[in-house]
Amino acid sequence: MPVTVTQALDRFIEHYLQAQLARYGDLPRLEHDPDWPSPCLQGEPDPQGLQRWQPVLQSEPTDLFERLAEALGEPVHNDIAAYYSRYWSDPLRASCATGDLSLLFVWNAEDLERLRGNLIGHLLDCRRRKRPDALFFACTEPEDYVLSIDNQSGEVLLEQPGSPKFDIVAPSLAGFIDSLRPNID
């Protein structure tokens, strides 16, 4: 039976946290920002101002993708809606056969609104460049390429911003995520 986006994400997050704990014996930390709260934050900041965090399942449904579909004039592919509706998280680094990347997530409800605007902008740029309608979910490292899914087919695309060219790198988002390995610094 094919793996779903949520199953692939759950496995990746589990492997990411296991790798983090194996390497550092603790959760990741980031600089505490009282103006940018998140359900991801764990405990209190340490004396250096760093706070533990981890990806956390989103518990409240969002109407983001219905509103996004309305703005775009077409339905949003279920895979991208499932992807961004599953976890609150900071970006997570990963490796695949072709290199390193950062999976993008939303940090809090305010970040969902930023994402909506950025997805609309990206899709409008695709239309202007006469590329398939695509919605991003990751960026490559160190090059600044974008990984997105074709909003019609669900194929994973590698795009170079500002260019009409793109490559199909995977037949599905779930399969692509399932192929990733956590990249713990």
**CATH number for position 72:** 3.40.1580.20
* pLDDT attached to residue 141: 86
Q: How many separate domains does the chain show?
A: 1
- For residues 177 and 149, is the Cβ–Cβ distance under 8 A? no
Distance separating alpha carbons of residues 62 and 10, to the nearest angstrom: 19
**pTM of the model as a whole:** 0.94
Distance separating alpha carbons of residues 111 and 77, to the nearest angstrom: 20
Distance separating alpha carbons of residues 74 and 93, to the nearest angstrom: 31
Q: What does the CA dihedral 94, 184, 82, 40 come to, rounded to 10 degrees? A: -160
2 secondary structure, DSSP code: P
- Expressed as residue numbers, the domain containing 147 is 5-182
Residues in the chain: 185
* Nearest of 181, 4, 2 to residue 93 by alpha carbon: 181
> Maximum CA pair distance of the chain?
52
Phi, psi angle pair for 157, to nearest 5°: -115, 145
* pLDDT attached to residue 61: 86
Nearby residues of 55 by Cβ (< 8 Å), 6 or more positions away: 13, 16, 17, 40, 87, 88, 89, 92, 105
Mean pLDDT split into 10-residue runs, the chain, 185 residues: 92 97 95 94 94 95 90 92 96 92 96 92 90 94 91 95 88 97 91
